[in-house]
Amino acid sequence: MLRHGDQILVAVVEVAGALVIFVGAVWAALRFVVVGLRQRSAALFTPIRLSLGRFLTLGLEFQLAADILRTAVSPTFAQIGQLAAIATIRTALNFFLRREIVQEQQQVQGERRVETTDRPPR
């Protein structure tokens, strides 16, 4: 059983993770609307997706930290198994999010290089 102080610590870390994800989702939604109203280019949405992916990754890290704290305080075999499953799922999510972020960053950098080489000299 978690002690009261430990429960508060776990709750604070969980709330921090949820808050990071919420702020990232709101920020991305607002940027999506602003960019969508001003311009119709799909390429302009890539930086928004990259930022949202970073927020999601950070939020998942906080959630995993809360699970580790919860299990470290009063581990049972059931809790350790549950933590292993949760850690595996969240690690896989983080892996694929990071991979997508890297791919998107490379795409954005490639598009910027093309834009600068396509411009006529002044």
Q: What total of structural domains would you count in the chain?
A: 1
Containing structural domain, residue 93: 4-118
Rounded average pLDDT over 9-31: 96
Query: Which residues, at least 6 apart from 44, have a Cβ–Cβ distance to it below 8 Å?
Result: 35
Alpha helices, DSSP H, located in the chain: 4-38, 46-73, 77-118
Nearest C-alpha neighbor of 14 from the set 75, 62, 60: 62
pLDDT tens column, 85-94: 888 888 888 8
Helix (H) or strand (E) holding 122: none
Q: What is the pLDDT of residue 11?
A: 93
